A and B are shown apart, each in its own frame.
Chain A
Amino acid sequence: MIRTLSACLVRELRLAARIGAGVELGLVFFLILIALAPFALGPDQKLLSRLAPALLWTGALLATLLGLDRLLQADEEEGVIDQFLLSETPLELILAVKTLAHWLVTGLPLTVLAPLLGLMLAIQPGAMAPLALSLLIGTPALTAIGLIGAALTVTLRRGGLLLSVLVLPLTVPTLIFGVAVVREAGEGNAFATPLMLLTGTSLIALVVSPIAAAAALRLTRS
C-alpha cells in the first residue's frame, strides 16, 4: 500500500510539473493582492505594518482557494476517481496524498513568498519567521478544508464560487490563530498559545478532511 501511495504522490507531482500546477499564477495572484492593499489603504507605513499579518494571511487564503478546483476536477473528468474507488487502497489515504501533493505546489510556495511580501508591508522584523512558520502549519489546513469543498462540488460545472462559499466559513479558526501568531510576534509578545491552537486546528483538519471528502465522493457517484 505504501508503494501505491508513493506512486500516487509521484504521479501527482509529475502531472503538476507537466500540465502546470498554476504555481506561478498563484504566486502572482498573492503578489497582486498585497500590491493592491496600499491602493486601498494608503501608503502609510504604520498602518500597513499593523495590517500586514491580516493582509498576508488573507492573501494566502484567497490564493489557495483559487487553486482548489485543480485538486479533483481533472481526475473526475477522466474517471480516475472511479478507479480510486475500485482500488484496494482506501480512498481516504489517496485523498490525503493528493492533498499533500497539492499543498507542495500551492501552499508551500506561498509560504516561501510571504516573508518577502511582508517586507513590502513593513512587517515587524521579529514577525517574519513566525509568519513563515504560521503559514507552514496553516496552509495545509486550508488545502485540506478546500478538499472537502472540492469533493462536494466536483460534479458541478461551474462550482468554483460555490466551493469558496462552502470553504471560507470553515477556515475562520485557522485564519484567527494564524494571524494571531504573526501579530503577537510582531508586538514582541509570546506566541506559543496561538501557535499551538493553530497546530491543533491543522491536525484536526488534516484528519477529518480526507474522511469527509472520501464520503462525499462515494455518496455522490451517479
Chain B
Amino acid sequence: MAPPVRRFEFLWSLANPSRFSALARRILPFTAAGCIGLLAYGLYTGLLVAPADYQQGDSMRIMYIHVPSAWLAMAVYGAMSMSALGTLVWRHPLADVAQKAAAPLGAAFTALCLITGSIWGKPTWGTWWEWDARMTSVLVLLLIYLGIIALWRAIEEPGRAARAVAVLTLVGAVNLPIIKFSVDWWNTLHQPASVFRSGGPAIHPSMLEPLLTMALAFLLLFVSLLIVRMQTGLMERRAERLAQLAAGEEAS
C-alpha cells in the first residue's frame, strides 16, 4: 500500500527532531539578530523620530509597545491553536513541544499588553484601569492563557497533557470570538459614547512605521524564543526517555 500523500510536506519533513534541531540552529541567529536590529530601529523611530500626539502628548509613544504586544498575544494563541490541531488531528510529533513552548510566551505578551495599557491610561484617562472593551477582552485572554499553563502543570504524563491542553486550546479558540463579541456588546451597553482607545481613530503614516517595526521585532522575538524553548522541550523529552530506560535497566 502506497503511503498517503501528506499535506504540508515541509512541516512533516520537520517531524524528525534532529532535522528540526539542525534547522533551528541555522535560523536562530538570524531571527535573533533581526529582532535586535528591528528593536533598535523601532525604539529609535518610536521614541525620538515620530511626532507626539496633538492631544495626548508623548505618552502616546507607549502605543508602540502596547499595540504590538496585543497583536502578538492574539497571534501566539493562533499559533497554539494550529499546534493543537497538529497534535489532535495530524499527530505531528513536534506539535506537543510547540504548544507547550508557546504558552508562556503568549501569556507574557498578554500581560505586557495589559500593563502598558494601564500605564498609558493613567495620563490619558486619569485611571490606572479602564474596563473598556479591548482591555477587558485581553484580560479574559490572559485568564485563558493562565488556565492553559495551569493544565500543563497539572497533568504529569506529557503526551496526555498535550492532548488535554490541545482540546482546551481549541475550546478557547471557539470561545474567543464569542467572548470578544459579548464584551464589545457589554461595553456599548455601559458606555454609549465609547472612547476608541488605541491612539485615535486614524493612525498617521509617521506613526505606522515604528508601530510595524516594533510588531515585526516582537514577532521575531517570539519566533526566536519559541525555537529556544522547543529545543529545550525536545532535550527534556529525550532526557526523560533515557532516564526511564536507565531506571528500567536497573530494575531488571
Query: How far apart sit A80 and B144, CA to CA, in the bound complex (Å)?
Result: 30
Main DSSP-derived SS at the A contact region: helix
The answer to whether A180 and B168 touch (CB under 8 A), given A172-B182, A220-B160, is no
Q: What residues on B are CB-neighbors of A165 within 8 Å?
A: 143, 146-147, 150
- Of the listed stretches A12-20, A26-34, A101-109, A153-161, chain B binds A153-161
* B178 close to A156 (CB less than 8 A): no
Chain A contacts for B160, CB-based, 8 A: 155, 219-220, 222
Q: Given A176-B182, A219-B163, are A212 and B171 neighbors across the interface (CB < 8 Å)?
A: yes
B90 at interface by CB-CB < 8 Å: no
- Bound CA–CA A153/B147 (angstroms): 12
Could you tell me if A176 and B147 are in contact, using CB atoms closer than 8 angstroms? no
A169 to B77, CA, bound (A): 15
Verify B183–A176 contact, CB threshold 8 A: yes
Q: Hey, which chain A residues are within 8 Å of B140, CB to CB?
A: 169, 172
C-alpha spacing A159/B163, complex, angstroms: 17
Q: Which residues of B contact A197 (CB under 8 A)?
A: 182, 185
B186 touches A166 (CB 8 A): no
B147 to A166, Cβ gap below 8 A?
A: yes
Q: In the complex, what distance in Å separates the CA atom of A176 from the CA atom of B183? A: 8
Asked if B178 contacts A220 (CB within 8 A), the reply is: no
Residues on A with beta carbons closer than 8 Å to the beta carbon of B178:
173, 201, 204
In the bound complex, CA of A180 to CA of B190 (Å) = 10
Given A152-B151, A153-B154; A180-B171 close (CB under 8 Å): no
Q: Is the CB of B157 within 8 A of A156?
A: no
CA distance A155 to B146 in the complex (A): 20
A197 to B157: give the CA distance in the assembly, Å. Answer: 40
Q: How far is the CA of A155 from the CA of B164 in the complex (A)?
A: 11
Q: Which residue of B lies closest to A201 (CB)?
A: B178
CA distance A212 to B172 in the complex (A): 11
**A133 part of interface (Cβ distance < 8 Å):** no
Quote the shortest CB–CB distance from B81 to chain A (angstroms). 14
State whether the Cβ of A148 lies closer than 8 Å to any Cβ in chain B: yes
CA distance A162 to B166 in the complex (A): 16
Task: Report chain B residues within 8 Å CB of A148.
Answer: 167-168, 171
A215 touches B167 (CB 8 A): yes
Residue B115 at the A interface, CB < 8 A? no
Question: With A152-B167, A169-B140, A219-B163 in contact, is A162–B182 under 8 Å at CB?
Answer: no
Residue contact B154 to A162, C-beta cutoff 8 Å: yes
Q: Any chain A CB within 8 A of the CB of B15?
A: no
Asked if residues B154 and A176 are in contact (CB atoms below 8 Å), the reply is no
- B112 touches A (CB below 8 Å): no
Which residues on B are within 8 Å of A, measured CB to CB?
88, 140, 143-144, 146-147, 150-151, 154-155, 157, 160, 163-164, 166-168, 170-172, 174-175, 178-179, 181-183, 185-186, 189
Q: Which 5 A-B residue pairings sit nearest by Cβ, starting from the closest?
A: A173-B182, A219-B163, A169-B143, A166-B147, A216-B167
Could you list 18 further interchain pairs (A-B, Cβ under 8 angstroms) beyond the known A169-B143, A215-B88? Answer: A148-B167, A152-B168, A155-B160, A159-B154, A162-B151, A165-B147, A166-B150, A166-B168, A169-B140, A169-B179, A170-B144, A170-B175, A176-B183, A201-B182, A212-B167, A216-B167, A219-B166, A220-B160
